[in-house]
Amino acid sequence: MRTRVIAATVALYAACDGATRQPPPAKVAGVRVVDVIPVSLSGETWQDAEPFLALYASNAQLMAASAFTPNPGGSASGTAPIFVSSDGGDTWTLRNTLPSEGMTADITHAVGATPPVLYSGILKVPGVPLNELKASDFLSPATMTLQASRADVDQPFVRTAQAASADRVYVGLNDFDAPDGRTATVDVSLDGGATYKSRRIETRATVGQNGPSIRPAVAQDRTVYVAYFGWRATAGSTVTSDIAVVRDDSGAGGATPFRDLLDPSDHLPGRLVATHVTIPWSNAPTLGQERIGSTLSIAVNPLRSDTVYLAWADRVGTGDIYTVHLRRSGDRGATWTGDLRTVTNATNASLAVSANGTVGFLYQQVTGSDSSSRWVTRLEQSRDGFTTHQDAVLATVPANSPPLQFLPYIGDYNGLLTRGDRFLGVFSASNAPDSTNFPQGVVYHRRVDFATHRLLDGSGATVAVSIDPFFFSVPVLP
């Protein structure tokens, strides 16, 4: 493992461009960054990686967040926690309401139309079966209700839409029991999660499966886009993949959904935005102690579904480890721009489009080399296709500490959403209490002494630095 880390670091040093060594940009007005860990868990030292966020359009105060955070009491109760905020993200509480022993092995969630309904897709511990869950009131202490379950599924990714009669739930997932190795699937519920139908979205031959990330995005007019990796060949740990997008114009409620966007090359559903890209599949510490291989995000303008943005990561082959690409379509996915942004040695791209058309682009990038390497978390915004953009550095923390406890180190994904005039999101990063690590400022509720750079437990003893989830709020460009 150490050898791999060193090799990655050497390669990273070679790949860093001048721009990444520049000092962070100026402070952006109105940004909030909050460590989600509450004061009553000040002694925690877990690697709270892979955060996610859900919020309501109709209630700015209520939010749910998650991470690979364990039940502080252990696994005996058979429950795992989510974080809840009832004050717009200023403070968070941890509640053990997920039916999983101590922790989940994957979790995403999205809200229903009526607060405080919450839907969640988890890989349950033990055995990691998919559980599709619902809470009528996520503030309630009651364990979330199981709506559907099956084995051999990876990376459930939940999005919802509000229909007049019931919530619509879209769970992108990689279903290893799908026929013909076409594993890219969306579980669609049109009745508030009461029933789900598994919709296969891959129409081409694969190497035996698709990549893990299957990402839905829903506009208010019920247009649903789904991005996925079309894995076409493998050689060792390298995958040759297409980056594909399907679309459904009526909320995926028909008999043969996700067939509304064809590729001109073969007239099959699934527009090939990029073909034959190289995906380095590395389930080992490779980029700043993180594994790589499945970064993918898609976001649609909620009010103008013609406009959709797509980000993925691959290896370009110019000495990079992993490079994020951002593209846009203005004609419902029919044609796409070239790269609007190309970010070297980055991962965890997340996209959101605000109601005024501003796109938010969250990513985490490793900069520097060896002991000075850092994970830099940025939110970029643009209203002109990234001809210009605003750049907010949310965190810049050491990349080589704390040492990893497991993978993912900070997550295979993070979360970005938008509501009104704010981008709201979560990322995971080192909680080393150094105010220079957070150029926009930061609020810790857990006990901390910034003067001595120490985390403290309830008795005042020093607590080891670990990975925490951080909530943020950034004003949308007007």
Site residues for another protein per CB under 8 A? 38-46, 49-50, 68, 71-74, 76-77, 84, 86, 91-96, 103, 105-106, 123, 125, 128, 141, 152, 154-155, 174, 176-177, 183, 208-209, 212, 234, 239, 281, 283-285, 291, 293-294, 404-408, 412, 445, 447, 457-459
By beta-carbon proximity to another protein, the closer residue of 410 and 476 is: 410
Q: Radius of gyration over alpha carbons of the chain, in Å?
A: 21
CB of 54 to another protein, least distance (A): 18
- Side chain identity, residue 194: A
By beta-carbon proximity to another protein, the closer residue of 53 and 84 is: 84
By beta-carbon proximity to another protein, the closer residue of 309 and 470 is: 470
CB of 254 to another protein, least distance (A): 29
By beta-carbon proximity to another protein, the closer residue of 103 and 246 is: 103
CB of 382 to another protein, least distance (A): 31
CB of 294 to another protein, least distance (A): 7
CB of 251 to another protein, least distance (A): 29
- Side chain identity, residue 322: Y
Residue 45's closest CA among 415, 426, 404, 443?
404
By beta-carbon proximity to another protein, the closer residue of 236 and 338 is: 236
CB of 209 to another protein, least distance (A): 5
Instruction: State how far the alpha carbon of 347 is from the alpha carbons of 149, 246, 360, 367, 433, in Å.
Output: 30, 23, 15, 12, 24
The 3-state DSSP class for residue 128 equals: coil
CB of 349 to another protein, least distance (A): 17
Backbone phi, psi, residue 331, to 5°: -130, 45
CB of 127 to another protein, least distance (A): 9
Peptide bond connecting 408 to the previous residue in cis, omega within 30 degrees of 0: yes
C-alpha span between 108 and 64 (Å, rounded) = 10
Name the DSSP class of 444.
-
Which residues does residue 184 pair with via DSSP β-bridges, in sequence order?
174
Are 340 and 334 within 8 A, CB to CB? no
Are 278 and 237 within 8 A, CB to CB? no
C-alpha span between 183 and 153 (Å, rounded) = 9
By beta-carbon proximity to another protein, the closer residue of 174 and 344 is: 174
CB of 315 to another protein, least distance (A): 16
By beta-carbon proximity to another protein, the closer residue of 175 and 248 is: 175
Contacts (Cβ under 8 Å, ≥6 apart) of 410:
49, 50, 290, 348, 364, 375, 427, 428, 429, 467
C-alpha span between 160 and 167 (Å, rounded) = 7
**Structure tokens that stand for 324 in this block:** 């994020």
C-alpha span between 392 and 29 (Å, rounded) = 10
- Chain centroid offset of residue 180 CA: 28
- Side chain identity, residue 225: Y
Are 278 and 240 within 8 A, CB to CB? yes
CB of 380 to another protein, least distance (A): 27
